[in-house]
Chains A and B, each alone.
Chain A
Amino acid sequence: MAGRMLLAGFGGQGILFAGKLFTYAGMLEGKNVTNIPEYGPEMRGGTCNCSVIIDEEPIGSPLVLEPDILIAMNLPSLDRFEKTAAPGAKIFVDSTLIGRKVLRDDVEAFYIPATGLASDAGIPKLANVIIVGKVIRETGICSMEIMDKVLEKVVPPTRAHLIAPNKKALEIGYEFA
């Protein structure tokens, strides 16, 4: 399937990394992909977001203004982007960090305490990847199988020891009901 995805959160939560995982997955599955972060003063410690498009067709604008898939890893992101989601969109919320529910009723919301799950599993920096696993499960935007190859591409050889924890995080997210 094709997808227009917006990932948003604080700088340091691994938003750009999560975006990269989807982008590589789309590329390795032979689709057209684009990935563009919002840049500016926000880059420096504030909120952070990136647009990812995966499409069979050539991609026009890389900017996702009305996401089909929205990942919100903090409250300001949900506040800012919930209203922009396309009708029928799937919204993924890190419920450890976001106390409120999705307010719209024309979208599908998924709540996953990713930060808590990551912490419990001893991989506190991988809440982002847990959400990626959940998104794959609920949207089928890419296959779980491709993620092995993706991690090989995204994780540099000098950090190969990080591949296993990332796989674990993907599993946790994928299995979370």
Chain B
Amino acid sequence: MADKVLVKGNEALGEAAIAAGCRFFFGYPITPQTELSEYMAKRMPKIGGTFLQAESEIAAINMVLGAASAGARAMTSSSSPGISLKGEGISYIAGSDLPAVIVNIQRGGPGLGGIQPSQSDYFQATKGGGHGDYHLIVLAPNSVQEIVSLTFDAFDLADLYRMPVMILGDGMLGQMMEPVVFPEHSERVLPEKTWATNTTKGLRKKNIINSLYIKPDVLEKINFERYARYAEVEKKEARFEGYLLEDAELVITAYGATSRISRNAVNALREKGIKAGLLRPITLWPFPKEAYQAAAKTAKAFLTVEMSMGQMIEDVRLAIDCARPVHFCGRTGGMIPTPGEIEAKAEEIARAF
């Protein structure tokens, strides 16, 4: 096993991508993810990879589309406003059934917003962001070690299901240093990329990468097929972590950075005799609905904690079909909720039990 090293989230992500076989990174500077681009600029030339600073976020995502078309593991990263620009390309990547990894180190919005941590791109990540019927697999790490493991998974899942995968982080995770171990290559068996436009070499018929289907019945059929694949993803790939859920009457639920803060709150609440637990979705799409349904069996109420005005809360309500009240505790604009704020809200809810 490799040594533990102390690494920043942004850099761990870059190193993990390289370890996962990504050799093509197309970036554009934006706080708070610039360090990832800088890291790739430093590392890629040393390992025979390509780092290219594009003229825009739009160009960067389309370079990813081109590199993915040619069969390579390719990646781009940005922060919220830049991800909006990438929306077009992400839709095309999804519509062309291409694997690609997109990183969003979220900052406060809307508009130019701010540069402090935020989770207000949840809707954009899980419900679309670009146009059309499609999904991204959305992975939400909450530690630097998990950034590493989920980056490996991101490339594998993208290849396995031929779809774009987003790693949804925030400024806090990107900036945080924690000890990590970089694992060896992944063990997954992945399908060969027979569809890639990497030149026919006279050995096969030409391949076409395309998202245009001018006949509506054909487009519908393609979309049906894609959604059958999405159904498989929903069945197989939903992931979560539970903490003290077995007897939890109050299920606090949060992803990424807020899940760590919530864990502090859960510990404090337990000390006060309140049966609190934490349900942390690791995949935001597919959303781990069954875990919520299971938690609802002991839960009297749910409390979602987000750095937004309340976005994931809608999926929580849908997952349990509104069978329990779902409360909200959040800060926005780059403000980070404190464990104290979460505790206060939780105690207020628990008093009604």
Contacts and interface: CB of A to CB of B under 8 A. Distances in A.
Interface of A: 20, 23-24, 27, 33-37, 39-40, 58-63, 65, 153
Given A24-B6, A40-B116, A60 B267 contact: yes
A24 B175 CA distance: 16
B264 A35 contact: no
Contacts of A20: 6, 177
Interface of B: 4, 6, 31-32, 115-116, 171-172, 175-179, 257, 260-264, 267, 336, 338-339
**Which of B172, B176, B179 gathers most chain A CB within 10 Å?**
B179
A60 B115 contact: no
A65 B257 CA distance: 15
B174 to A, nearest CB: 9
B267 A40 contact: no
A27 B264 contact: no
B178 A34 contact: yes
Given A60-B260, A60-B261, A60-B264, A65 B338 contact: yes
Given A33-B178, A34-B177, A37-B175, 19 more contacts: A20-B6, A20-B177, A23-B177, A33-B6, A34-B178, A35-B178, A36-B177, A39-B31, A39-B32, A39-B115, A39-B175, A40-B115, A60-B261, A60-B263, A60-B339, A61-B257, A61-B264, A62-B172, A63-B261
Contacts of B177: 20, 23, 34-36
B256 to A, nearest CB: 12
Given A37-B175, A60-B267, A62-B260, A27 B32 contact: no
Contact of A33 (B179, B257, B262): B179
A120 B257 CA distance: 44
Contacts of A63: 172, 261, 336
A103 to B, nearest CB: 23
A35 B6 contact: yes
Given A27-B4, A63-B336, A36 B175 contact: yes
Contact of B176 (A27, A34, A40): A34
B6 A23 contact: yes
9 contacts: A23-B177, A27-B4, A34-B176, A35-B177, A37-B175, A58-B263, A61-B257, A61-B260, A61-B264
Closest 4 pairs (CB-CB, A-B): A60-B264, A60-B263, A35-B177, A61-B261
Contacts of A34: 176-178
Nearest to A51: B176
B330 to A, nearest CB: 15
Contacts of A35: 6, 176-178
Contacts of B176: 34-36, 62
A20 B171 CA distance: 19
Nearest to A19: B177
A39 B79 CA distance: 15
A63 B340 CA distance: 13
A37 B172 CA distance: 9
B15 to A, nearest CB: 16
A33 B177 CA distance: 8
Contacts of B171: 39
A55 B337 CA distance: 22
A61 B339 contact: yes
